[in-house]
Structure 1
Amino acid sequence: MRAIWKGSIGFGLVNIPVRLYSAVQNSHLDLDMLDSKDHAHIKFQRINERTRKEVPYDKIVKGYLLKDQYVILDEQDFEDASPEKTKMIELENFVDIEEINPIYYETSYYAEPEAQGKKAYALLLKALIQSKKAGIARFVLRSTENLCVIHPLDEIIVVTKIRFQEEIRTAEEMKIPPINTINKKELDVGLALIKQYTSAFDIKNFKDEYTQELLKIIKAKAKGKRATVKKLEPKAASSDDLYEQLMQSLNKKGA
């Protein structure tokens, strides 16, 4: 793996030099966009909307539209906005990771210590495991400040980017039915259904079935055949009554 970031985790007065590696990968198939006529690759170009000519990457700048005029920013501007954080993941406080709503999670990175930071890395890792806490920190990645959670996973420190509060949209415009429309009888059966489906979480039980089926189709088409794919047909409930639907679901699972 190739490191995507080099810097340090700041733990009090202790600096732990680390490298970050992407901990996730896309399970979807890498499909190319082709011209239907001759299957030639479709290429994207950066076009100047006025001249309609292609602009070289090194001639592209970033700008912010302010009062109908663009203010152009350079790399120094991004560094000046957060100079002390460019190479530092500064731990600000510790929390119970259960307190963080999953809506805030983005993506995760493995943190590997440099040679001179292995002892301090091991200390932080062991302290996180024993305290059952996670650290909240900020760092700059690709000229953008990121909020993150530092937590242990299988005896390695993981840095997981999370969203800032202002990145979460309000749900005020959503039309949500009031929960007081559910009576006790319906709720009891709903809770019983949840209990019946409850089990210990094991990520190995969940596979990317869509990608597997699509790959099966691709391999069959390469041989001039058509793969047989199982289709899940949704079964309509025999009653429009919510309670009856819940009871049918409960009995079906039990059977």
Structure 2
Amino acid sequence: MRSIWNGSISFGLVTIPVKIYSASEDRKLDLDMLDKSDHARIRYKRVNEVTGEEVEWKDIVKGYKQDDSYVVLADEDFEQANAKKSKTIDIEEFIKEEDVADVLFKKPYFLEPQKDGEKSYNLLKNALLDTGKLGVATFVMRQKENLSLVGVYKNALVLHVIRFADEIRNPDDLKLPDTKVSKREVDMAKSLIEQYTEDFAFDKYKNVYNEQLLKIIKAKTSGKKTKVEKFDTKPTPAKDLMAQLKASLEKKKKNKAS
């Protein structure tokens, strides 16, 4: 793995030099965009909208539009905006793990200690494990400030970049139902949830979509047709809810017994 950020993580007066590594990777198949007529690859170019000519990366700068002109920003401008946050993951407080809503999480990163940071790294890791707490921190990476949580995953410190409050849309804008549900129906649904409750096994879940898509690609290569799996997507009518819940419970019980 190659580190994507070098700096330090701090809590109180303790400073730990660290490197950041991406903790996840995209498993999507690498598909090219083609011209439908001759299957030639489509290429994107960075073009000056005035001259129509292509512009090289080295000649591209970033600017903020103000009125009818742009204020051009250099690399040092981004660094000076908050020099400390560009080099330090500063833990400002600690919170309980259960206090964080899942909708906030965006992307995980692994933290690795640099030279002379090994002991303080283990100190923070062990303290987080023993307390069940997460550190709330802010830092700047790729010219963007990030709100994050520092925790532990498989013996490594992990940095979870999370969303700021103003990045979460208000669910009040949704057309949510106020349909009444009986206690008997809720109790039956709770029983079904209990029947389906297991210890979470992370490795049990695989990305099967890519495998199925590859099968289709191989079939098309050999000129074969693939079978389309049929499934029912009709909503369960309100009057049939109890019957479907009972049938689901019976099916689960039979599967457990077999």
TM over 0.5: yes
Query: For residue 88 of structure 2, what is the aligned residue in structure 1?
Result: 88
Query: For residue 29 of structure 1, what is the aligned residue in structure 2?
Result: 29
Query: For residue 76 of structure 1, what is the aligned residue in structure 2?
Result: 76
Change (3 A) 1:238 1:105: closer
Change (3 A) 1:38 1:236: closer
Q: Do structure 1's residue 199 and structure 2's residue 198 form an aligned pair?
A: yes
1:164 Cα offset (Å): 0.6
Q: Distance in 2 between matches of 1:108 and 1:45?
A: 31
Q: Distance in 1 between matches of 2:147 and 2:8?
A: 15
1:236 Cα offset (Å): 5.3
Q: Does the CA contact (< 8 Å) of 1:105 and 1:162 recur in 2?
A: yes
Change (3 A) 1:244 1:60: same
Q: Distance in 1 between matches of 2:82 and 2:94?
A: 22
Query: For residue 105 of structure 1, what is the aligned residue in structure 2?
Result: 105
1:238 Cα offset (Å): 8.2
Q: Distance in 1 between matches of 2:230 and 2:198?
A: 23
Q: Structure 1 length as normaliser, TM-score?
A: 0.90
Please say which of residues 234-243 and 66-75 is displaced more in the overlay.
Answer: 234-243
Query: For residue 246 of structure 1, what is the aligned residue in structure 2?
Result: 245
Please say which of residues 67-76 and 125-134 is displaced more in the overlay.
Answer: 67-76
Secondary structure of the residue that 2:173 maps to in structure 1? coil
Q: Distance in 1 between matches of 2:54 and 2:120?
A: 50
Q: Distance in 2 between matches of 1:154 and 1:91?
A: 21
1:110 Cα offset (Å): 1.0
Taking the TM superposition and a 5 Å limit, the aligned residue runs for 1:73-222 are: 73-178=73-178, 181-222=180-221
Give percent identity, aligned residues only: 43
Q: Does the CA contact (< 8 Å) of 1:239 and 1:245 recur in 2?
A: no
Please say which of residues 2-11 and 67-76 is displaced more in the overlay.
Answer: 67-76
Q: Does the CA contact (< 8 Å) of 1:237 and 1:245 recur in 2?
A: no
Secondary structure of the residue that 1:83 maps to in structure 2? coil
Taking the TM superposition and a 5 Å limit, the aligned residue runs for 1:31-70 are: 31-67=31-67, 69-70=69-70
Q: Does the CA contact (< 8 Å) of 1:22 and 1:110 recur in 2?
A: yes
Secondary structure of the residue that 2:21 maps to in structure 1? strand
Where do 5+ consecutive residues of structure 2 fail to align? none
Letter in 2 for 1:250: L
Q: Does the CA contact (< 8 Å) of 1:9 and 1:16 recur in 2?
A: yes
Change (3 A) 1:223 1:8: same
Q: Distance in 1 between matches of 2:224 and 2:176?
A: 47
Q: Distance in 2 between matches of 1:18 and 1:27?
A: 27
Q: Structure 2 length as normaliser, TM-score?
A: 0.89
Equivalent of residue 232 in structure 2, options 222, 231, 234: 234
The total of aligned residue pairs comes to 253
Q: Distance in 1 between matches of 2:148 and 2:227?
A: 44
Q: Distance in 2 between matches of 1:96 and 1:238?
A: 38
Q: What RMSD, in angstroms, separates the aligned Cα atoms of the two structures? A: 2.1
Change (3 A) 1:215 1:68: same
Query: For residue 17 of structure 1, what is the aligned residue in structure 2?
Result: 17
Letter in 1 for 2:243: E
Where do 5+ consecutive residues of structure 1 fail to align? none
After superposition, what is the alpha-carbon deviation per residue over 1:139-182, rounded to whole angstroms, capped at 9, x for unaligned?
A: 11101111111111111111111111111111121111126x11
After superposition, what is the alpha-carbon deviation per residue over 1:42-81, rounded to whole angstroms, capped at 9, x for unaligned?
A: 1101122233222222222223334454333222222222
